[in-house]
Structure 1
């Protein structure tokens, strides 16, 4: 049970994976700090972890703590992680969730000791984590935090998603602060935003914000692609923060490839196509349109001729290599999600600006 004297928290819950929970958390911390509030951050249950000071913590914790210089222990910000095989072991051995609850509450009390408010980021939709008794609605109830539900943009789909998730939070006795609709097509906002607000009012719920779709937030960097795919960096470590918005497969004549190259393109080329690799490198170096804007991924476990590698080393193109075949590599890269990284200042600032501009902060604070 949550103590009545516990620091208030806002539980950021999504209706699906990649709904925008981290974006909303990032921007909400900034908006609340602008109001003079001391804000802490927590992600009670994490899945995608990195190692920090000997502890495995969710990567979103690293983002928020780094951007805002928060001094809370990363392990307290993410007290429970779910490694591969954990849920199977939990069910097979009929483990109790109480140790997990105790760990979360102890961490929450430590990070909120001097805070006015805690932003608590969930994982997936309301039911994610239920297999171990740590569903988002369950964790929000444990902490006594009000739930802010992040949906997609539009009218029918976000309303359906919100209704389903609201039912799960209500079942756990959670206070619903309201809805934030993310990735809303700008051309639809004027028409659909008032309709969505009207629908919510029927159930005494609030539309707290509508965040427009911003393409830059979905774009990848060469660094993300290399990290997510385990690629070998052939050249251009200093250029890995170059932004990628599209991929093309090199399987044509060189002049056709040159016609396809444009700013923000990653050219995926088999390692035995020296002609196409040279064409891409030449475009990077000489074209006024694509200079300093493209990347190259070599596939198939084949390295270009050493004379070509020497030219690559003299270029300003980030070049990576992945052992799998071209089709498998293209498919793998298409599955990579464009996350906000601490080093990506442009994305961080754009995300903060979008959320602060969209959020009705007075309504948020009033609903707590």
Structure 2
């Protein structure tokens, strides 16, 4: 069995998504996959247990069969400083080692996910440098190319993590950034002993939110749920409805799978949106319910209508805050992530590194 620590330079870089995609691909080829997260900070309560939400969902998708207490043995269940003050680093270390040992039993490979980013956990002795040494793991860092200074962050991570940092995968590449990857690889990664495993392009679908996730983020009220399954439709773009119908029509025609945020009293824009076919959800603000005619047309066309108490700008801010931080949930997103990984990641090199039987590659 071999493990690999999957980390990142910053939060919301796509660690869980990559692990899910690679894990499912390898599982389909016959390998036994394990998943482990030494400690988690995104706490939620499931069946009267406090768990790390990402760890719980990732283990569920990968169907590892391990207990959540072993998958993520340490959860930060209070303010971080309070947890640090009360913690015994030696006890935490033992807990991590024991859980990892149980997770590793009968597995071909275990993917270990860091919490937040590679430096987090230093005060507890659980940062990536410590965990990689503790469990004898090399690292793969998922790099979200937010700006050109990301190059300096990669080199700083290499200096801190040393030779245990082996692999880089760029994620959410778009525009001019794609052209820089070859230069970065040749000039900096290779010269610093780092191997580029792949570059994943930006996907509006993966960055988008389901209608249900938007409703949860806004504490909205369903007025129309649309056709069965429409609440899981992925919204890729947002539009503000504050203009005249002729002006709005130009924007409606340019988008695909968009949500319209507008006042509940703007029946003109609501009606136009329902006619275009590109607006997949109406977010009506100000706690103003639309007319019965609008609700009837929305139900007929299967377009969800959500009532929101906040004003339009506040609503936009709340939705915009969670866009780009969307989790990989649901079959549509998982399938898309797998497609991208199979196309843009050197899976053969990864399988060779993990010492997995390459005969499975022919399956």
Instruction: Give the TM-score taking structure 2 as reference length.
Output: 0.84
Number of paired residues? Answer: 349
The one of 9, 15, 18 aligned to 1:21? 15
Aligned to 1:261, the other structure's residue is in SS state: helix
Report the CA distance between 1:336 and its aligned residue: 1.0
The one of 208, 211, 215 aligned to 2:204? 215
Are residues 1:299 and 2:285 paired? yes
The one of 124, 130, 136 aligned to 1:144? 136
Whether the 8 Å CA contact 1:87–1:131 is kept in 2: the answer is no
Report the CA distance between 1:119 and its aligned residue: 0.4
Structure 1 198/365 Cα, relative in aligned 2: closer, same or farther at 3 Å?
A: farther
Corresponding residue number in structure 2 for 1:3: none
Report the CA distance between 1:67 and its aligned residue: 3.2
Whether the 8 Å CA contact 1:177–1:364 is kept in 2: the answer is no
Are residues 1:253 and 2:244 paired? yes
Report the CA distance between 1:245 and its aligned residue: 1.9
Structure-2 separation of matches of 1:311 and 1:350: 32
Report the CA distance between 1:125 and its aligned residue: 2.3
Report the CA distance between 1:241 and its aligned residue: 1.7
Whether the 8 Å CA contact 2:206–2:328 is kept in 1: the answer is no
Are residues 1:177 and 2:166 paired? yes
Corresponding residue number in structure 2 for 1:326: 312
Structure-2 separation of matches of 1:154 and 1:137: 24
Deviations 1:9-39 (A, max 9, x none): 1110001112221222123213433554311
The one of 158, 171, 180 aligned to 1:166? 158
Structure 1 14/312 Cα, relative in aligned 2: closer, same or farther at 3 Å?
A: same
Report the CA distance between 1:53 and its aligned residue: 3.2
Structure 1 154/259 Cα, relative in aligned 2: closer, same or farther at 3 Å?
A: closer
Matches within 5 A, 1:231-310: 231-236=220-225, 238=228, 239-262=230-253, 263-281=256-274, 283=275, 287=276, 289-290=277-278, 293-305=279-291, 308-310=294-296
Deviations 1:87-139 (A, max 9, x none): 13124x45323333333223222221111210011123211233443323323
Whether the 8 Å CA contact 2:282–2:305 is kept in 1: the answer is yes
Whether the 8 Å CA contact 1:271–1:304 is kept in 2: the answer is yes
Are residues 1:112 and 2:98 paired? no
The one of 78, 82, 90 aligned to 1:89? 82
Aligned to 1:323, the other structure's residue is in SS state: coil
Whether the 8 Å CA contact 1:209–1:360 is kept in 2: the answer is yes
Structure-1 separation of matches of 2:329 and 2:66: 17
Structure-1 separation of matches of 2:302 and 2:40: 37
Structure-1 separation of matches of 2:111 and 2:128: 14
Aligned to 2:200, the other structure's residue is in SS state: strand
Structure 1 235/47 Cα, relative in aligned 2: closer, same or farther at 3 Å?
A: farther
Report the CA distance between 1:222 and its aligned residue: 1.2
Does 188-197 or 328-337 show the bigger shift? 188-197
Corresponding residue number in structure 1 for 2:360: none
Corresponding residue number in structure 2 for 1:342: 329
Report the CA distance between 1:145 and its aligned residue: 1.7
Structure 1 82/229 Cα, relative in aligned 2: closer, same or farther at 3 Å?
A: farther
Structure 1 317/175 Cα, relative in aligned 2: closer, same or farther at 3 Å?
A: same
Structure-2 separation of matches of 1:225 and 1:216: 14
Report the CA distance between 1:208 and its aligned residue: 2.2
Structure 1 35/275 Cα, relative in aligned 2: closer, same or farther at 3 Å?
A: closer
Structure-2 separation of matches of 1:256 and 1:185: 29
Over 6 Å off, 4+ runs: none
Deviations 1:237-260 (A, max 9, x none): 631122222212222234433443
Does 350-359 or 325-334 show the bigger shift? 350-359
Does 190-199 or 108-117 show the bigger shift? 190-199
Structure 1 185/260 Cα, relative in aligned 2: closer, same or farther at 3 Å?
A: closer
Task: In structure 1, list runs of 5 or more residues that go unmatched.
Answer: 1-6
The one of 177, 199, 206 aligned to 2:195? 206
Does 144-153 or 270-279 show the bigger shift? 270-279
The one of 210, 214, 220 aligned to 1:225? 214
